[in-house]
Amino acid sequence: MEQKYKIPSQTQIGHVHLKVSDINKSLEFYCGLLGFELTTMYGSQAAFISAGGYHHHIGLNTWHSKNAPPAKEDGVGLFHTAILYPTRKDLAVILDRLIKADYPLTGASDHGVSEAIYLNDPDNNGVELYRDRPKEEWSYNSDGTVVMFTKSLDLDDLLQELKVN
């Protein structure tokens, strides 16, 4: 693949918009469990939620999906939405919330550059909750590419962050 254009390095993905089957169930998950804030409703068919007062990080709608079954696991579509936490302690806090709510995890991985917890929302959409390691802790191959891998994340070690002041 020849690359003729490089996207500006400051470019960010601003938000994700998910088709859901039930707005209220999705709001219970994203706001009630994960702690996002409802910024606005668009009638009864769409909700916009954020962290820290941004207009929205996640849009939820039932425009074409009200009461629909989840997407097929072996079909095309979104694999997961990744939600970046600012610190390892913040990731430990949400892990503790999930454990106390008895919410099932689908995985937990150390990727070398990041640590991640995986789960599904009420519509079986994949959700990754993660934190990046500082770049100084990343490893690189001899050709300059980043070393990434998938190893089991030690959840007990992560929860030790809650004991640090």
Domain ranges of the chain: 14-65, 80-165
Query: Which H, E and C letters describe 74-128, residue by residue?
Result: CCCCCCCEEEECCCHHHHHHHHHHHHHCCCCCCEEEECCCEEEEEEECCCCCEEE
For residues 107 and 105, what is the distance between their CA atoms, to the nearest angstrom?
6
Query: CA dist 133 to 23, 35, 85, 113, 163, Å?
Result: 34, 23, 11, 5, 20
- In a 13 Å sphere around the CA of 79, the CA atoms on its Cβ side amount to 3
Report residue 58 as tokens.
């996640």
Nearest of 120, 127, 121 to residue 80 by alpha carbon: 127
pLDDT tops 80 at residue 165: no
pLDDT at 164: 80
Each residue of 52-106: pLDDT tens digit?
989 999 999 999 999 999 988 888 888 899 999 999 999 999 999 999 999 999 9
Asked: is 80-165 a CATH 3.40.50.720 domain? The reply is: no
Quote the longest CA-to-CA distance of the chain: 54
Question: What type of residue sits at position 36?
Answer: F
Each residue of 15-34: pLDDT tens digit?
999 999 999 999 999 999 99
Per the listing, tokens 């892990």 go with: 95
For residues 48 and 40, what is the distance between their CA atoms, to the nearest angstrom?
5
pLDDT tops 90 at residue 14: no
CATH class for the region spanning 14-65: alpha beta
- Mean pLDDT over residues 111-134, rounded? 97
